[in-house]
Structures are given as C-alpha cells and as structure tokens.
C-alpha cells in the first residue's frame, strides 16, 4: 500500500492506495510534512484533491477501492450521487436505500467513510438542516459546505 501526504486548507491529508485503487483519504489532526514524492498510484488523487480545494474540480474521476461491508459500500455509493453544492438528510439517504428505519445504520456507515471528500459524506445533514456529526470535525464540514456553496460570500451555517 502506497502512502502520501498532501497539504489542504483543512490540514494534512493522508492518501493510501495501490494498483487496485484509492483505499483511504483521511484528514489528520496533526500536520504531516507534504510528501516530496507522490507514488505513481496516488498522483491522480493528489492532483484532483488539489484541484477541488482550488475550486477547479467538482467531481472526482478515480479508481476507488474502499474497504467496508456490503451495506457500507451501498451507503457510500449513494453518498457519491449527492451533487456538488447540494446536501441530503440522513433520513432521505435512508429512504433512497429503501429502509427509513435504517437511519442509524446509515449514519454509522457515513461516519466510517474511508474516502474523505472523494465520497462526500460532508454533504449529509440533519433533517432540520442542521450540521450533524462529522468524523473530520464540524468545523471542517462547515468549511467544505461553504466551499461548495454557489454563493460563497455568505455562510450556510
């Protein structure tokens, strides 16, 4: 498994993957030095993430290989369908999965998303429009949603 560290406006991000695809993108609580050499299997991911933060990319075109249960992968697939600049509630995500009673399981799968930003779990909010738990911290979720907002001069939250 190849590893690289990149700098983002939200802190250091750790990228891991191999020839089968990108396995994880994690935001770190402590900064790491940016990798001087990015392994070949991670170059596209690093490049596309940088474009995202520069406001030049709204969709990712990468080979993904996250590890998780079949249920988690179904949830992550649904998360990937949430358009840039849009949000969806946990309840609506459960509905799309076909079981509104699975809301807690959906929230749990969302929290275990191994591909920060690439699979946009930050776009899931509470039914009342509130910011709810985010593995990377609510301050990062707020930043990401504002970054993707069509009118960036105003804060969504």
Q: Encode pLDDT of 93-149 as tens digits.
A: 999 999 989 999 999 999 999 999 999 999 999 988 888 878 788 999 999 999 999
Tell me the C-alpha to C-alpha distance, in Å, between residue 15 and each of 21, 57, 78: 11, 18, 22
Same domain, 143 and 86: yes
Is 136 contained in some domain? yes
Provide the pLDDT for residue 133. Answer: 77
Model confidence band, residue 152 (pLDDT cutoffs 50, 70, 90): low
CATH value at residue 89: 1.10.10.10
Is 130 contained in some domain? yes
Rounded CA Rg of the chain? 15
Is 105 contained in some domain? yes
Same domain, 133 and 108: yes
Model confidence band, residue 153 (pLDDT cutoffs 50, 70, 90): low
- The stretch 61-78 carries a mean pLDDT of 97
Contact 93, 79 (CB under 8 A): yes
Percent with pLDDT over 70 in the chain: 96
Is 121 contained in some domain? yes
Is 74 contained in some domain? yes
Same domain, 82 and 45: no
Contact 106, 113 (CB under 8 A): no
Same domain, 81 and 119: yes
Is 63 contained in some domain? no
Same domain, 90 and 134: yes
What is the rounded CA–CA span in Å between residue 21 and residue 64? 5
Is 143 contained in some domain? yes
Question: How many structural domains compose the chain?
Answer: 2
Same domain, 113 and 75: yes
Same domain, 41 and 82: no
- The stretch 79-87 carries a mean pLDDT of 96
Which residues are catalytic, by number?
Answer: 121
Is the pTM here over 0.75, yes or no?
yes
Percent with pLDDT over 90 in the chain: 86
Model confidence band, residue 84 (pLDDT cutoffs 50, 70, 90): very high
Same domain, 107 and 141: yes
Q: What sign does the CA torsion over 63, 15, 45, 134 have?
A: positive
Query: Structural domain of residue 139, as residue ranges?
Result: 70-148
């Amino acid at each position: 498994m190849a590893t690289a560290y990149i700098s983002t406006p939200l802190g250091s991000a750790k990228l891991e993957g191999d020839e089968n695809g990108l396995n994880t993108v994690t935001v770190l609580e402590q900064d790491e030095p940016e990798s001087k050499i990015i392994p070949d299997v991670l170059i596209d991911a690093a490049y596309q993430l940088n474009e995202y933060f520069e406001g030049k990319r709204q969709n990712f075109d990468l080979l993904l290989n996250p590890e998780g249960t079949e249920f988690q992968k179904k949830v992550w697939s649904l998360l990937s369908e949430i358009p840039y600049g849009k949000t969806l509630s946990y309840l609506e995500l459960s509905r799309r999965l076909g079981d509104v009673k699975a809301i807690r399981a959906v929230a749990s799968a969302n929290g275990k998303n191994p591909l920060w930003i690439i699979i946009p779990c930050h776009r899931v909010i509470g039914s009342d429009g509130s910011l709810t738990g985010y593995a990377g911290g609510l301050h990062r979720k707020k930043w990401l949603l504002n970054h993707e907002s069509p009118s960036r001069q105003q804060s969504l939250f």
